[in-house]
Amino acid sequence: TWPFSQYASSSNTNDSIMPALLVLGFLALTSAPVRGVAVAVSGWTKFASLLLVPLWSGYPEARRGRSAVLYALSFLLATVAVFFVLFLEPDPLHAAVVFYRRTVEFQIGRASPFSLWDWGQYHAKGLPDLHLVQRVLQVLLVAGSVALAWFPRERSPLRMAALTAAVLIGFEFVLTHWFYLYLPWFFPFVVLA
């Protein structure tokens, strides 16, 4: 019933897959292995989910133990399963390099006329170059995401939904290339919160 979900679907993008996988993981929030698999698979669909690895590692409490080990193992096993396809290529190393260039390298170097972070590309008088501000905010986002592995200590489903939405919104805020198709990434968790 939310138009932006339909826009993403009608645009034939994978922008609805990541939140769908996270919602499935959220439905089984009490299961560390399911959380680990959900974050891994959604993270390799859209990299934004990888920022949720620390947050989702510590439910219901931010403590180390058997639950954290199960979470980490399931995350690693799901990651291996996702990237196993590279070994079907004649040269897996070359396939990994192609994957990196077409995903990570492309996204990092991507220019966008829609972004205030990329105004500097126009070299127009009066338009500030905000790349330094963007980098500072990106570092703060990553640091904050890592801190969520331990803080807050007590976590409820409501708090997990709110923090998940906050991390994903923060990721979108510091992106150079942003598009309305990214709105479904955080919407389910905003609704839950």
Q: By C-alpha distance, which of 123, 117, 191 is closest to 157?
A: 191
Q: What is the pLDDT along the chain (193 residues), one digit of tens a residue?
A: 688 888 888 888 888 999 999 999 999 998 999 999 999 999 999 999 999 999 999 888 766 688 889 999 999 999 999 999 999 999 999 999 999 999 888 888 787 877 888 877 776 677 787 889 999 999 999 999 999 988 888 889 999 999 999 999 999 999 988 888 899 999 999 999 9
Question: What b-and-e string marks burial along 89-115, b requiring 16 or more CB atoms within 10 Å of the CB?
Answer: eeeeeebeeeeeeeeeeeeeeeeeeeb
- What amino acid is encoded at 24 in this protein? L
Residue 4: the pLDDT is: 87
Q: Are 121 and 182 in contact (CB under 8 A)?
A: no
Residue-averaged pLDDT of the chain: 90
Residue 79: the pLDDT is: 96
Query: 139-145: long-range contacts (C-beta < 8 A, 24 or more apart)?
Result: 141/51, 141/167, 141/170, 141/171, 141/174, 142/51, 144/170, 145/51, 145/52, 145/54, 145/55
Residue 92: the pLDDT is: 92
Provide the 3-class DSSP secondary structure of residue 170: helix
- What amino acid is encoded at 23 in this protein? V
Residue 1: the pLDDT is: 66
Residue 9: the pLDDT is: 84
Residue 160: the pLDDT is: 95
